[in-house]
Chains A and B, each alone.
Chain A
Amino acid sequence: MSTEDELRILFLCEQKLLFPINPQIGERPNSRCLFVSSLVWKALNPPYESEKDGIRMGRTLAMLDNFVEGRRISVRLPPSKKVDAYIALLDKADEEIWEIRVRDPRPGVRIFGRFACLNVFIGLLPVYREDLTDSKAIKPKEAEDKLWNQAKLRCRSEWEKLFPLVAPHTGKIPHDYISNNIFIV
C-alpha cells in the first residue's frame, strides 16, 4: 500500500467512514490491521435488532480479535471448499472478495471485504448467512448463487465508494495476503 493509500485510510477514519478494529482485551500490539466500513461498524455495535443478533455480534467481535491479535487462522483459496476456514477468498478469485467466517451460532455471519495490502483487511459488508439462502426457491442452488453474487456486488460497491480508482491487493498464495501464523485449508 502506498503512502497515499495509508493517508486515504487515515482520512476515512477521521471522516468516520472507516473504523479501526483493535483487540477488545489486553495490550497486545496489532500484528495485522483490520478496518471496517460504517455498515460493519453499525452491525457490530448496539443497538441490535434482537438479542440473537447481539450474540452473533459478540462472537463476531471475538473472531475479528483473532485477526488483529495475529492469532493463528486458517485461510482458504479457491478451489478449496473447506467449511472450516477462518477467512476465505471467494470464487472467482480475481474479484478479490474475501469473507471472514463466523459460523457459530448458526446461522452464521460473514464479513465480506478486501485486502488493501499485506496484513491489512478492510471489512466492507456484514452478511447474515440466512440472507444468502432461499430455501423456498424452485431452484435453491441458483437462487443462492444469485444472492451470493448480489452480496459480492454490494461489497465491491462499498470498496469503490471508499477507495475509488484503487485496486484491491492481489496475490497468488495465502502468504501474499497474510504473512504470519496462518495455515491453509
Chain B
Amino acid sequence: MTISQITSLLSELSSVSQENLEPRILAYFQERFRNRLYELVIEEFEKQQRENGLTQRELAQRINKSVSRVNKWLRTPGNWTLDTVSDLLIGISKSELKISSKEITPPSLNFIGWSGLYVWESSPEPEDLINLLHEENTATKLEGTSWKAHENSLIKLEFTNERHGKNKIDVNN
C-alpha cells in the first residue's frame, strides 16, 4: 500500500519556483528539522550518559540552567531556540555542531534537514561509503574523519547502517 501523498510534497518542491513555496511545505520542513535536531541532541546526551555517566543534573550545572528546565528541554523540542541547541550541545559533548556542505565530519550520515545540511555523528565510518567515495573520486580524505568534496562534483552517497538501513543521498557541490 502506497499513497501519492508521499511524493507530493517533494514533487511540489521541485515543480515550483522557490518564491512560491507553500506555507504548509515550509511548515512541514520546519517541524521535521526541529524533530531531527532534537533527535540528534538526545542521542548525543544518551551516548554521554552511557559512556561517561552524564546526568541531567550535571548537564544543568554545566550550562547554568535549572534541572527542571533541562529536563523539559530533553522531553520536547517545543520551546527550543538556536541558543538552546548551542547550550545543550556544548553542555553534553563540549563541542559545537559542525555543519558544512564541503567538509564532512564523522560518519554514519544522518540527514537532518533540507538544502544539503548533513551531520555525521558516529564512528567507525561505514565501509561501503568510503569505498564509494574512493571509486567515484569525488572527495578527499582530510585529517581524522573529515572529508572535503571536490569542486563541482556530484557526490552520490550510498551507505548502510544499523539505524537507518540503506540510504542514498546526492550532494551537489
**Chain A residues with a Cβ under 8 A of chain B:** 10, 13, 19-29, 44-46, 48, 51, 54-59, 61-63, 65-66, 71-72, 74, 82, 84, 86, 103-104, 183, 185
B1–A13 touching, CB < 8 Å = yes
Residue of B nearest to A55 (CB): B27
Given contacts A63-B31, A104-B31, A185-B75, 5 further A-B contacts (CB under 8 A): A19-B3, A22-B5, A28-B165, A58-B23, A183-B75
A56–B3 touching, CB < 8 Å = no
A44 to B72, CA, bound (A): 29
A74–B76 touching, CB < 8 Å = yes
Contacts of B10 in A (CB 8 A): 24-25
Is residue B58 contacting chain A, with contact meaning CB distance below 8 A?
no
Give the number of chain B interface residues (Cβ < 8 Å).
Answer: 30
Contacts of A59 in B (CB 8 A): 27-28, 30-31
14 contacts between A and B (CB under 8 A): A10-B1, A13-B1, A20-B2, A20-B3, A24-B9, A28-B164, A54-B24, A58-B25, A58-B26, A61-B9, A61-B28, A62-B27, A72-B42, A185-B75
A137 to chain B, nearest CB (A): 28
B127 to chain A, nearest CB (A): 21
- Evaluate whether A84 and B28 lie within 8 angstroms (CB atoms) in the complex, with A28-B165, A54-B23, A55-B23 already known: no
A19 to B4, CA, bound (A): 11
Within B1-15, which residues are at the interface with A (CB < 8 Å)?
1-3, 5-6, 9-10
Residue of A nearest to B32 (CB): A62
Is residue B128 contacting chain A, with contact meaning CB distance below 8 A?
no
Please list the 6 inter-chain residue pairs (A to B) with the smallest Cβ-Cβ separation, ordered nearest first.
A58-B27, A62-B31, A58-B24, A84-B76, A54-B24, A58-B28
B160 to chain A, nearest CB (A): 12
**Chain B residues with a Cβ under 8 A of chain A:** 1-3, 5-6, 9-10, 22-32, 35, 39, 42, 72, 75-76, 78, 111, 164-167
- Evaluate whether A62 and B28 lie within 8 angstroms (CB atoms) in the complex, with A28-B164, A54-B22, A185-B75 already known: yes
B165–A104 touching, CB < 8 Å = no
In terms of DSSP, what is the predominant structure of the interface of chain B?
helix
A172 to B128, CA, bound (A): 43
A84 to B72, CA, bound (A): 8
A23 to B23, CA, bound (A): 19
Contacts of B9 in A (CB 8 A): 24-25, 61
B35 to chain A, nearest CB (A): 6
A171 to B4, CA, bound (A): 34
B62 to chain A, nearest CB (A): 22
B28–A20 touching, CB < 8 Å = no
Contacts of B78 in A (CB 8 A): 84, 103-104
A57 to B31, CA, bound (A): 11
State which of B2, B27, B29 has its C-beta within 8 Å of the C-beta of A22. Answer: B2
- Evaluate whether A48 and B24 lie within 8 angstroms (CB atoms) in the complex, with A13-B1, A72-B42 already known: yes
A71 to B164, CA, bound (A): 11
B163 to chain A, nearest CB (A): 10
State which of A25, A84, A104 has its C-beta within 8 Å of the C-beta of B75. Answer: A84
